[in-house]
Amino acid sequence: MAWFDAVLACVSLGLGLLHLVRLATARRDGRPVAGEAAHAVMGFGMAAMFSPLGDPVPPALWFAAFGASAAWFGALALRTGLRADDAGHHVVCGVTMLFMLSLGTADATGHTGHHGTAAGTGPWVSVVAIVLVGYFAWHVLRCGDRLSAARITPAEPAAEPVPAGAAAETARPVDPPTGCRHGRAVVPGRLGALRDPRAAATAHLVMAAAMAVMLLGMI
């Protein structure tokens, strides 16, 4: 279904562009730069895999990009734990993309990784793909929870009450109690909608669903 691949390619490209915008404003909003960069590369990589026109990027560059992402977040997970900046999820994403790149076969239009697997790889490929589909399906539910949490986040962080006798400028903003690690809610303004935690939660949900669809083609 070339039209379906084209739709998913456009969606993935849009996700990559969204995370590029969020990458440009990451430091200003207090979000991890590496996480936004990894999501942007993931979006573009998925767009290239889904594209009916073929992948214009040499496979070696994708291997380098996703290998570096998995290694970076793997090291971060070892230092600070799997939950730091969603390091565990980024490791799974990087390894999954390397898995599909290494086993994918190029067809006449240059697809890699979502129309089947290389001949002679054995049933273990399907087993791994099923496990990964389960993981990304779980992540879709997780992102849904984060999106619900982000919806109840106030438009801008609330301030702690000022103690009696203290100067007003000592009030400190409080992070939204959502458990969603996409940064604080931002004041509406230029690119405010794209910088909002709800935009990130939605993008991550769609990206995880698209990844599950891609892996289903390998079973």
Cα–Cα distance between 216 and 166 in angstroms, integer?
59
Cα–Cα distance between 212 and 133 in angstroms, integer?
5
Q: Is 152's pLDDT higher than 50? A: yes
- Let me know if 4 is exposed, middle or buried by CB neighbors in 10 A (0-12, 13-18, 19+): exposed
pLDDT confidence of residue 150: 62
134's tokens: 């389960």
Is pLDDT larger for residue 83 or for residue 7?
A: 7
Judge whether 178 and 146 are in contact, CB under 8 Å: yes
pLDDT confidence band for 184 (50 / 70 / 90): low
One-letter amino acid for residue 42 of the chain: M
Q: Is 70's pLDDT higher than 80? A: yes
Q: Is 182's pLDDT higher than 60? A: no
Please name the residues in contact with 169: beta carbons below 8 A apart, sequence gap of 6 or more: none
Q: Is 176 strand, coil or helix? A: coil
pLDDT confidence of residue 105: 42
Judge whether 116 and 125 are in contact, CB under 8 Å: no
DSSP 173: B
Cα–Cα distance between 32 and 45 in angstroms, integer?
20
